[in-house]
Structure 1
Amino acid sequence: MSKTAGRPLRADAERSVRAILAAAERVLAENPAASMEQVAEAAGVTRTTVHRRFANRQALIDALAAEAVSKLAEAIEDGHPETAPPLVALHRATANVLRVKGAWGFALGPGLAQSEQAARTHEEIALRCTELLGRLQRQGVIAADADLEWVRRVFYALISEALHGGGHAPRGGREYDPDALATGIIDTLLHGVGPRAS
């Protein structure tokens, strides 16, 4: 739950903050230089309401990044990386991550400076990912001598390319199937692009 000055927000204030953050993602994705006034208009609230919740534009962007990273962490956990069969967990977590990254493209973009809290959450996500890849390695799905940190980085790059690359990538709000993309990403990660043994 969002907090102001360490206190939990009332339900109406919480709804207001969520509306502002959702509007900020939409507006800033289209125009990274957009003002807080433009965010307020998109959220359907007054400029005063935005300023009451966020001291300045940077505070709004920090809160937006923290919210998006929190959604990303939830997406990973929803894949049950410790308890589901590893390939099932990897597919589900990948599809979930694609959905979140597709919805929070600005807040999770590579050019956005991360708050300390968001950076810590990213580190936790990387650790969870490496642990899941370790489960796959122990099952023989990933080569025993593979460097799991490198595998994780390749996995991240495939996700990024699927979302932000040219040509076939889903951009500008186009519809895409996260499950199908997840299948392609995992297939490429685990089998590469060489010919398959018959």
Structure 2
Amino acid sequence: MSASTPPRPVRADAERNVTRILEAAKVVLADDPTASLERIADEAGLARATVHRRFACRKALLDALFAQLNEQYLHALDEAKVETAPPLVALHRVTELVIGIKFSHRLAVDVVSRVHNGHSFLGDEVVERAELLFSRLHAAGAITAASPSWCLRLYLAVLDAVHQLPAGAPELGEGDDAAARTRLQVSTVLGALGGRGPQ
């Protein structure tokens, strides 16, 4: 193939196989983070050679799950306009979206979180943009904590606790579950960082 020949597009069935493999990986690895590619192939209902053709090793598969989840977080940061929206508005909106991701992609979040301990499961761009939001909150006087890295670590710790609350927990109060979790997350984080809640 010459240098000017464009690469062949991935066939539709190959794309479907990748989707099946990633979905199977979420199920299997949520149960057993050390599971082999062979076990994931069995869960996907595909030949082991098919899985190995798409993902040469376990790390390649985990990297694909990591990238998929980080794309969701980047989309949330884009939609919340963390660089330009009023910082308290952006914090509320990104929290609302991230809580949605944690519930709609629960298995992926669990798998990636187990494999990457701490907030290192977030890609560099996600961390950089999230920390920028906390810098903006500090500059606007909405929080007194000055270290964006510390703010993000605290945010993620609270997010995990809020996510683990059972539906109807007294901490959530009344109303829509997602909205209640968002309110609890934002008010707890702002309070812990020396800030004020949404007005």
Normalised by the size of structure 2, how large is the TM-score? 0.72
Q: How far 1:187 moved relative to its partner?
A: 0.1
CA offset digits 1:123-162 (Å, max 9, x no partner): 221211121122222332123x633332222112211232
Change (3 A) 1:8 1:106: farther
**Separation in 1, partners of 2:114, 2:52:** 26
CA offset digits 1:29-69 (Å, max 9, x no partner): 02223332332233343322212111122322222222222
**Contact 1:161–1:169 (CA<8 Å) still a contact in 2?**
no
Change (3 A) 1:158 1:26: same
Query: Which of 102, 105, 110 is equivalent to 1:106?
Result: 110
**Contact 1:159–1:185 (CA<8 Å) still a contact in 2?**
yes
Alignment partner of 1:149 is 2:153? no
**Number of residue pairs the alignment of both structures matches:** 177
Structure 2 unaligned segments of length 5 or more: list them. 1-6, 168-175
1:132-171 equivalences in 2 (<5 Å): 132-143=133-144, 146-163=146-163, 168=165
**Contact 2:33–2:114 (CA<8 Å) still a contact in 1?**
no
Task: Look up the equivalent residue of 1:34 and give its one-letter code.
Answer: A
**Separation in 2, partners of 1:49, 1:193:** 49
**Identity in percent:** 40
Task: Look up the equivalent residue of 2:73 and give its one-letter code.
Answer: L
**Contact 1:23–1:42 (CA<8 Å) still a contact in 2?**
yes
SS at match of 1:14: helix
- Counterpart of 1:123? 124
**Contact 2:159–2:185 (CA<8 Å) still a contact in 1?**
yes
Q: How far 1:169 moved relative to its partner?
A: 5.4
- Counterpart of 2:4? none
Change (3 A) 1:120 1:24: closer
- Counterpart of 1:93? 94
SS at match of 1:78: helix
> Aligned-residue CA RMSD in angstroms?
3.2
**Separation in 1, partners of 2:162, 2:60:** 30
**Separation in 1, partners of 2:8, 2:136:** 40
Larger Rg: 2
Change (3 A) 1:52 1:133: same
**Separation in 1, partners of 2:16, 2:75:** 19
Change (3 A) 1:84 1:44: farther
Higher helix share: 2
**Contact 2:82–2:91 (CA<8 Å) still a contact in 1?**
yes
Structure 1 unaligned segments of length 5 or more: list them. 1-5, 114-118, 171-175
